[in-house]
Amino acid sequence: MALEEVTREKWATRLGFILAAVGSAVGLGNIWRFPFQVGQEGGAAFLVMYLLFVAIIGIPAMLVEFVVGRSSERNPINAFDRLGHGEWRFIGILGVITGFLILSYYSVVAGWVTRYTFASLTGAYFGEAGAYFGQISAGPAAVGFHALFMVVTAVIVAAGIQKGIEMAVKVMVPALLVLLVGLIAYAFTLEGAAQGYEYYLSPDFGVIAANWTSILPAAAGQAFFTLSLGMGVMITYASYIDEDRNLGVDGGWIAFLNTLVSILAGLVVFPVLFTIGTEPGSGGPGELFAGVGGAIAQVPGSRLVGFLFFGVVTIAALSSAISILEVLVSYAIDNYSIERPTATAVISAIVFVVGIPSAMSTDVLTLFDATTAQLLLPLGVFLTVIFVGWVYQDSAKELAKGTGSDASGTLPVLWLWYVRIPILIVVGFVLVINATEL
Ligand code: PHE
Ligand code: NA
């Protein structure tokens, strides 16, 4: 749809926006990245830091993007011009670059998940879930599945049928929750369950104190990645919201549902890892496949369960990938007068090529992942926070719309000052640690 139209299309139903935003948020970040970060950062200590970060930084930062999107009714690059501060449009450009990089390896991981969906039908990974991952995660076949996933994503975006995907989200999120709860029940019966829960849920505050310079940036990166913050997706989606919606309420729901899915995924992965004797963190990006794959192999009806589980995760990944590609495509359409199908084809081809090294080597993939999540997304959030807190004058007014109060209401004022100082300091601090550690 043309983003410069005078009367802009709005989300048709009350749920439209929430569905699209949840579709973007819930994805590989929850099911794949989250368990792998927990394992790498020592378990429950990371979980605590991550939950804190989502609650006290993630949600208010999401509102920052909502404010830019809804008040400008533009894509993340043109939004700044529209709000009278074109000199800040580099934030949008940075978002586009970040989007290219994230989508390039996101599609590779989604390719692995697609492969596991089919492999469930034959039981190919049932013997050794971890070893199978080693065979399929890097090499020409991984490039092939990366291509397949990118083509499907591109076809949906080229045809402009994202609305169909929003409807799929309505089915997907409940289906994912049901499948996860079933797998959790199975994992609960395992020998290693108690150890898994202990590792995942019982934080050692000494560990946090000793390792906070590594845990904090990892938690921040995971929070921004999983909430789709720092590259303009939430600006874009919020540009279609009506003024009578309460942004804070919607943001809270999105963050809550997203966090629920992550927590449940961990409740499957860690009991299984302790049962099969794999040390958490040792599997790196293969953690999910060893953990959940190992569980699926054992449950009754494993072929069907595996097919459904990985199939649903593929759809979750698709709705997230679409949200990233849409930012890139709408930028090209609005700024270079290219047609949607051409823009989508060209951009997807570039994303595919950029992703090839990640499909050939999981080390390259984890490097792309760490750099984008821990450096580029926090940088995007940091700059948008400065803009909304200190440059744009109507931030509190925009947030207040739909809440029944005005810009001088307690919540909008508190939020604005909270954005201006504490959030700016914390995110700035994360960037400094990362810049020195990465
Ligand atoms: N939030 C998505 C996930 O958790 C990934 C994503 C990151 C989507 C950044 C859009 C922008 O899988
Ligand atoms: Na997520």
pLDDT digits over 357-391, tens only? 999 999 999 999 999 999 999 999 999 999 999 99
Instruction: Say if ligand 1 is within 6 A of residue 30 CB.
Output: yes
Instruction: Say if ligand 1 is within 6 A of residue 29 CB.
Output: yes
pLDDT digits over 30-86, tens only? 999 999 999 999 899 999 999 999 999 999 999 999 999 999 999 899 999 999 999
**pLDDT of res. 47:** 97
Instruction: Say if ligand 1 is within 6 A of residue 226 CB.
Output: yes
Checking if the pLDDT of 243 tops 80, the result is yes
What the block records as the tokens of 13 is: 């139903």
Instruction: Say if ligand 1 is within 6 A of residue 315 CB.
Output: no
Instruction: Say if ligand 1 is within 6 A of residue 286 CB.
Output: no
Instruction: Say if ligand 1 is within 6 A of residue 105 CB.
Output: no
- For residues 328 and 233, the answer to whether their CB atoms sit within 8 Å is no
> What CA–CA distance (Å, rounded) separates 414 from 396?
9
> What CA–CA distance (Å, rounded) separates 370 from 125?
27
**pLDDT of res. 5:** 44
> What CA–CA distance (Å, rounded) separates 344 from 14?
29
Q: What is the distance in A from the centroid of ligand 1 to the CA of 275? A: 30
Tell me the three-class secondary structure of 162-199, residue by residue. Answer: HHHHHHHHHHHHHHHHHHHHHHHHHHHCCCCHHHHHHH
Q: What is the distance in A from the centroid of ligand 1 to the CA of 50? A: 16
Instruction: Say if ligand 1 is within 6 A of residue 98 CB.
Output: no
**pLDDT of res. 2:** 44
Q: What is the distance in A from the centroid of ligand 1 to the CA of 405? A: 32
CA 391, 394, 398, 399: dihedral to nearest 10 degrees?
60
The residue whose CB lies within 8 Å of the most ligand 1 atoms, and thus the one to mutate among 323, 325, 328, is 323
Residue nearest to atom 6 of ligand 1 (CA): 228
pLDDT digits over 292-303, tens only? 898 899 888 999
List % helix, strand, coil for the chain (3-state, nearest 5). 80, 0, 20
